[in-house]
A and B are shown apart, each in its own frame.
Chain A
Amino acid sequence: MHDKVIFLCCVFIAITIPQAFSYEIEMAGSISIESRWFPHKAQFPDQFNGAQNSIALEPEWDVQINNNHLLSFIPFARLDARDNRRTHADIREAYWLNIQDDWELLIGVNREFWGVTESRHLVNIINQIDQVENIDEEDFLGQPMINLAIQRDYGRFSFFILPYFRERTFPGEDGRLRSALVVRENNVDYESSAEEWHTDAAFRYSHYIGDWDIGLSYFYGTGREPTLLPNATETRLIPRYDIINQAGLDLQYTYEEWLWKFEGIIREGQGDTFAATVAGFEYTFFQAFDSNADIGFLVEHLYDGRDKTGAPQTILENDLFLGMRYTFNDVQDTSVLAGTIIDLEDESYSVRVEGERRLGDTFKLELEGQLFANTRSTSNTASVKDDDFITVRLSKFF
């Protein structure tokens, strides 16, 4: 209900304000139909078997006024036939941005991405992950914020005040790709007595010096990653969100065909203070085999030194990511990305293949395949071991 009211208010504002000032609205966005097919029988009794069909809508409205005001509004909704929690709506963006020569002020809901690596987005922390959307942790919920960015010759300084916290989304009882126990929604535990109204703060400095791109960041507030603990009757997992301090560093060195990448964090507030890193490279053969296509090779090592009891669990404690990207550079922008993440401790691994191609001028076809292999009963991926899937997605862009 609450969501609906916000949604309607924003629609009202988006429609009335531009009319009142008679500025031109630019519209964009997409509608997509998706079928996600699970070939194996579900591991847990309530989970569905077979195909999961859904439809998603993400329109986008922009209004630019006098080159120094920008209004953006991007609502999002998905209707899912199998998992009622995957049927959800969100406001990805709804902000007003005031642009000055060397500073910008943004007020509203926005998405902000930090980082350079491919296999894990460690440094990225402003937005909560919209986990029901996809397991690649690249879909995010809109975050209310006040963001001041100051540009100087020696870099960009960005300050964030984050007044409201968004809970991570999780699959429901019927859904696949979940833990053995379903994660409870709404009634979650917070370390802060202010609960979701704790004011978080973040800072980022980013710049480039020659072939180096550097980002330094700091976050204080409610960590986006929950610790999942069973309730007293062991029927549900209850997310617990702790107050954390996190410092982050992201670096990229770009030299000829090489991109060398590093992301590292130090986090305090969840058990013992720990560090986590992703380090690796991407090497590209441009115009491989005398064709127009580029072939890139990606290698990243993932380390995470977190506390096994006091911190949220991760599946990426000591893992190796190997990937290959094939970009056809054709008129239809065809590309394929294949990658595997290997757990160097228990030798379980997962494989993911993503392909996409534009059809005509306004459609895009995407294929995704995910495989979990060699999973042990003690592996952190044990609950999803039977959840290999193939996704076909057709999107219309307007």
Chain B
Amino acid sequence: MSHLLKSILMYSISLLLFSNAIAEELEAKGYEIAKRSDHSDRGFSDSVVKLNMVLRNATGKESSRTLEIQTLEAPNDDVGDKSLVIFDSPRDINGTALLSYAKIIDPDDQWLYLPALKRVKRISSTNKSGPFVGSEFAFEDFTSTELNKYSYKWLREETCEEFTCDVVERYPLYENSGYTRQIAWIDQSVYQTRRLDFYDRKDSLLKTLDFKDYREYDDGIWRSHKLSMRNHQTEKSTDLIYSDYEFKTGLNDNDFNKGVLKRAR
């Protein structure tokens, strides 16, 4: 082997190793930033909040849904939160309730309560990318965002409104996602997500979610009170307006059981 060929080979190998090392470093950095953001939320234990969803079509016509969400924090990163969503309006679905046990990689366990027949129905949670109650939020956008549902890559640092943000790309590890990737802007001061871009299965920009009106509760628990989702492909949008947050209300596993669905109000 000629000397030249040998050096080219050596050079290529080291470049490959080096770029691999860089890629790994970017992944590790992305994961750390996501973890810091996720863990800033640790210890909220449980929450109860009222939600007003405002759905807007391309011509600006509005309709709304009001609901209550109860959440029970998971004990660690290996299991997901439990949640109970109870509809108040539109009035024809008043009392309809959805109980979810979020999983990390496996499909969530979900039960739907239909008040007309007083029937509790276990439903398939394969439908990750389907619309949640006709809104621009897919089921996967709405159920709890667990750290280990994604792999990460740090992209860059840039200013986002009044903050400096880390821009982190994340890739769903669970099956049936409607997205190839998402890009998150996470601020460096209180580690909250400020913006999220969603890329569809064809890898074109589908939606942007803006997180506004963050308020701090006990122990550095931050909650955005206005989430605005814009669909770039259909021009439709959905706002989630949260109010009356309560934490540590004393909810426990017995409050997140399929037996309680029929008395959820």
Interface residues of A (CB under 8 A from B): 26, 28, 30, 62, 64, 70, 97, 99, 101-102, 104, 111-113, 115-116, 138, 149, 151, 156, 206, 208, 213, 252, 254, 256-259, 284, 286-287, 292, 294, 329-333, 358, 361-362, 364, 395, 397-398
Contacts and interface: CB of A to CB of B under 8 A. Distances in A.
- The 7 A-B residue pairs with the shortest CB-CB distance, nearest first, are A397-B91, A331-B134, A286-B127, A156-B259, A113-B118, A397-B92, A364-B92
Contacts of B107: 256
22 contacts: A26-B265, A101-B252, A101-B254, A113-B119, A116-B121, A116-B122, A138-B117, A149-B259, A156-B257, A156-B258, A208-B109, A208-B122, A256-B107, A257-B124, A257-B126, A259-B122, A286-B129, A287-B127, A331-B134, A333-B133, A358-B90, A362-B90
Contacts, number: 97
Interface in B117-171: 117-119, 121-124, 126-127, 129-131, 133-134
A361 B91 CA distance: 8
A358 B65 CA distance: 13
A330 B234 CA distance: 14
- The number of chain B residues touching the other chain, given as a range, is 20 to 34
Contacts of B265: 26, 62, 64, 70
Given A151-B257, A358-B92, A397-B94, 10 more contacts: A28-B95, A104-B263, A156-B259, A206-B258, A254-B123, A259-B123, A329-B134, A330-B134, A331-B57, A361-B90
Contacts of A398: 91
B127 A206 contact: no
B20 interface: no
* Interface of A (DSSP majority class): strand
B130 A28 contact: no
A138 B114 CA distance: 12
Given A208-B122, A213-B122, A331 B92 contact: no
A329 B92 contact: no
Contacts of B94: 28, 397
Contacts of B122: 116, 208, 213, 252, 254, 259
A364 B90 CA distance: 10
Contacts of A259: 122-124
A284 B258 CA distance: 23
Interface in B84-104: 89-95
A113 B114 CA distance: 11
A333 B93 contact: yes
A102 B64 CA distance: 35
A259 B63 CA distance: 32
A66 B2 CA distance: 86
Contacts of B91: 28, 30, 361-362, 397-398
Contacts of B119: 113, 115
A331 B63 contact: yes
Interface in B5-26: none
A397 B95 CA distance: 12
A292 B63 CA distance: 18
B186 interface: no
B176 to A, nearest CB: 8
Contact of A286 (B90, B126, B257): B126
B124 A256 contact: yes
Contacts of A256: 107, 124, 126
B34 interface: no
Nearest to A212: B122
B124 to A, nearest CB: 6
B55 A331 contact: yes
Contacts of B126: 256-257, 286
Nearest to B252: A101
Given A111-B118, A113-B117, A258 B124 contact: yes
Contacts of B127: 284, 286-287, 294
